[in-house]
Structure 1
């Protein structure tokens, strides 16, 4: 059983039962099952050339975690930890490369005397699977810390694992390998076989796997035996690289850092397709085009004509090596002459020929090439021939365990393998997807931060320029500039800009004095947590240079001339001059109790050690003490005692005004009548419209809300009574359901799926009569095979975690409907909801529509799928529903339950029409273009039938999609 780092159970019987189940599961996947390699314990083999080079680097020291291969996945769903442990143990037993140690003995018998060798260790009885509870915001540091733990190759390079438990159905699984035992090409095999072994462990049946896989020790022996056949290739490489020298990089101007730094810049969504088309016209692949752009950018940085860039090769050849787990990578040095100021198209031809030549001789191990070149392969300062590399990463691999969904998690290394690397990311930064990006990664001693940032910006500009005009000569391409403005900027700006998910940054001080504040604009829609940015600043700057807070913005405010509009930055104005009064005292005391330090008014929550869990605790403490609405997100956004106090003062004023209006209204008395409807999520977007609809129909309503939010419901309509409770108060939910004669469940946490499911379980348990309407989501359909989706059609994987939670909640409801006196149930699957409510503003900030809205607001190009045509899809677009129409559909389902699933779709809008309208609404200058390569969230080809509630959903005047979108955009802008 995995060892969980949580409070142990006090029940011995319970622990014994868990142990019995774990042993039973391990027994269901024996290590000697069919397909398991029978490698003899103590079997020895020479190191492959790639292993030998890595072993030497480890012996030299200073590699840090650059040779760790962290394989991390965010797993949502019912994760069986014992089955995962059994699967990992079975995987290591199946592949001997994962259970070897590396030794060198003077007393060893030939051929291993004074020569490093690898030796097979016994298959372990179990690979430990420790479990640590943590908030998602804390995961990055824990994953990085585990990846940084060194391996002892002499003792054995067994992989190690860690599971971070964020919730009952939410985990991050990390397996860390040493690179000497595995490469990127092996991870797909690892993921596939772990899924098969996991399935076998959960079902008790045999694992469905291919036969005995090829073993890496055999590959190493074959490579060692065939070393003499590389002589022709070595002669070729010696001639090809004669006179080549390591590229001279600028080096840091100041503040040398020893770590690895990555800087990315977003690219137009259509750019990869344009570059691919450029390559097709010149007989080159997209990788070759990206490599040529790397050569061009390196030339513009260094001014050197004779350059060598390394690219990744592989020794995997033929079907015999399919399924091989081990290190089969090889570095190919590509040498290109950039002299004569060629056009980019000409350079592309030179790079193509040089790359083909390198690949033709790619069977020669790189360490043999270096050995043949000798001292000529190094510069005068000892630097190696290949200091710079280029890559075009594919789709990252994630675990796909049965019954769960998996999302790749990036665990960046703190040290770099090479001094400088260029990457073209088709799907955006590896940890978030989004727009394509140009990424530059460098070792601290190779460049300073200003140059690294300028290089990333120049490389992005080079890629864009050559796509538009490949006839441009190198001299006309963007150069690596270091503007005076960047040199005089606050040091924190450079640190923030160097983050791969940050597009822009600014650091300013309030005009009247006060703490310095930092602002960051994320690349695309993926935003690093402010705590992560604060941690980055703390590790690179002295405390005197740390901003008081880091705020995330959709875009930097600009004046008419394009310069930064400092007066429009949030937080610089409107703060109280002091932080006194009962609410300020309560905030200060909350900081002191929960963070252990008495804060100054402008101390930042994160700088004092705060994180998301403490933010929730602080909000709950203040909410209970002051009886004002406050959430953990409010704490994370306000950050300082002064700003939190100001926010609470504003909400106190709102409540006072609402209570005064209520007191002035005629007293109608309590009117609890038969047919009272409980509405959850009453202060949310959907719930607010449902309340209005039911009140207009004269239905008595019990509106579930926290006590401190009750004033937000004043004035909705007669007959609306507030019931205290929320989704985490299961007893309160049960009591509220028992008071009602009908239920409308419109509340959702969106991200805490275990809370949503527990709430539904509690409500269905207490439900005893009347109809029950659940506002679900079309995400529960997943990705259907057909373009037209009927109501209640089966779900098709992959489902998002949100869609899976909605589907599972529906199943709970429909399973008990009509039993024990219960009425009919309706699961109303809603798409994108538009309407004039602030809660809908996020519809235009995130997801597929967020990509288009933000591009329109920033005046960027909006790339959408090609419109219907003979060679394309029938349709691409977004289903939507007006909030008012959705409320009518809810009321209709109360009167006449659908006894199952119904879709609530007002209509569909094509991506082209939506993008065009967003440009008009925002007044932007962006251009809408059709592309064959767009973000995967825009690959939406499904139309949802909405027959059962068609009458209620029929649009009334003013409910067309353009009007609804404009109302939502207005709410988003407030």
Structure 2
């Protein structure tokens, strides 16, 4: 090759590298993708040029979230995220590994990066972030685990929920397979990190772990809170660019993917599945050459292949695919840990049967245009587009993504070897994700990750093979029209040699009459696609559909054994799995379908379809008025929430306003499913009927009046509060119970009046406290500590007379150095956020006690509470001892710390029966302790508890003593309870074995 040719090749290579840097910028790493390499989530953030760091965020109070964080927070708040946004980072480390040294390095890392110790709160309906002080230490539990058991242990740890309100963003686990063979897992929440962050995390941990390195040897890093503030300040100036984005995406629609023939299970679970196809080792270089010759990167070439494959899959010509972008630009953001990714919607016209080269030029131009707007948070674009950004069934615009996956990040510690470990936590963020996987350059693969609720397995396998085949053939013959490439003719149809497996709505009722009109049963009855979809549900025994003379069709379903999903849940499933024209207006549950003498369904005896007339009544009025207040215009009965400009945060606000106004349970997820006023009113009517039926089974509450000696009890529907109510009622004390509106009917009874409210209603709390002669505060949010603190401040301020009993927790002691803990011992770090909130609430209460006519105060610190109550059963199954219970139920091996491990002769837990705690609370009303007292009826070793559980569950488990202490079992404190010993004395039937048997016997469903 000549010198000029060499220069040209170098120029092309440099151009390719620069385009690749812009397109990728480190955002696409396997460690941030779900299993199989799906692209990053559609997270949104701006990238205003970073300025100099002015001050630490600690002590600045609450700060706004970035748009990317806001989306993550909303997903957590809506309850639909699960572990989809957990980021596991696992490495197999072979060689000398010191967990203590690693813990020291991790603690220093968290101290360096504020985002790893940031908690998320809410103020006036808006999310905020607050940086917490550096922790004293970050725990790194070590568990002896065989390599064959490691994958399940890693998946289980990675899937554990995070408490964002407590500042929990990272946790560690080390699996020890042999003295010099470990797997190190760090699990982050995506609200705190992205792929670029993991590179920084790995590099700094290696430096901090090295004896020669340390925090002082590393440059001071930029902090994410400053980035979020800069983005927040820049948002008002984005109007013109948002208009431009709206023009670019006007009339764009989500790709019309072929729907699966049957639902794959609970749509909310979104389990990920993957098809991979091996590629020739030489193909990536051939594709790079193809791109360089046409001024495109390898990423652009693979994205073009994704567009071509999606075109064949859907038959659509106007397509949108999402790609990941980053805001990490410039040296000032180097070393930043945080969520700096954004989604770029790339819109391409595939019409006219272009060649691969022609399509590549279209994709390159569309990608560069999208990158010019990459600093615009994508969720702002969606808000500007409104209903235009969704399909008629509410489908999101970005259903399909594409990525190139490079070598994954690993943790390389001095003196050790590192091997990447894939932790599959099994959730798909998108319907389909195309990926060119180059993690192993010698074994490149094409892959398709997909959501089985959105795509059949057979269709996904076909599109993965198509994608691989197109990559290979395009490199060899890029100027051939797509339709002439082998295997790439028009989209196959039913009956073709390679069918798309698209379900035919009338497949079960073909026209055999010769009239050209399908029989009625094809449009209605058992052959209707909605009826077939309902019968595919494992808990539905039978279903049919009728079409009234006016309005939309109505579905009827019969549940197996009369239990299962509600009618609203089934309707939501149909809306997610059927085209809008096939979705019924409602689903009605019946005990059985009426039949004719021949066994056919008798439509005449089915309940009539709901009238299309506008719903009326107070609930319908409340829905319309709340829609109008939040969305700015009065809706018609069938106006879609999103079509009127709604979005996720407004859905949460709509649900909270209606729940407060109507005293009925409602969540943001309900609004996202029942999106019209008519559907939402029907849901509220259904829940009102359920509430009324529950009330009719109990005696009505008496009118509230001024009764001397009235005790206000918060948390009345909880496990502790229910037993306190029972004890006070048995003593003949007048009780005023605070309960959420939707559950108030559950606590009303003789001697018990109800005031509706919760801990967020501070004015209502003050009124209730002012009208009571004594207070028992047993309510707690457990995770929203700022709410607990505000509630205690309001109650202590309104308290004017009588005693006050606060049910606190032994977590307020933290981790005492000695195994025996006397009452009122000082707290010892580390104290959990939950324990710190309890300490702060106690301090507020005890400062107010005895002043301004107030009576004495008692902070009753309780441990795990046992008793036959649904809330307490859930604590047994999934709470602090949930790991022991689940292992005992399955008969799995149970690892227990050997006595003497860590210098502690005993490991176990304090416990108290709920009835004994209730007696103790009542005792404190008459004889306040004027301080802190423990409420512990006894203590049980982990070995004894595990033995009791296996025996009562009828299983056998292998108890194995270890020299390591699992995190959940690291309890070794015995709490003195001298002050309350008398009321804590066990009554008949309150021994541990009896109460465990009652709790287990009450668990009627499989705990799987």
> Which TM bucket (shorter chain)?
0.3 to 0.5
TM-score by length of 1: 0.47
Higher relative contact order (CA 8 A, sep 6+): 2
TM-score by length of 2: 0.46
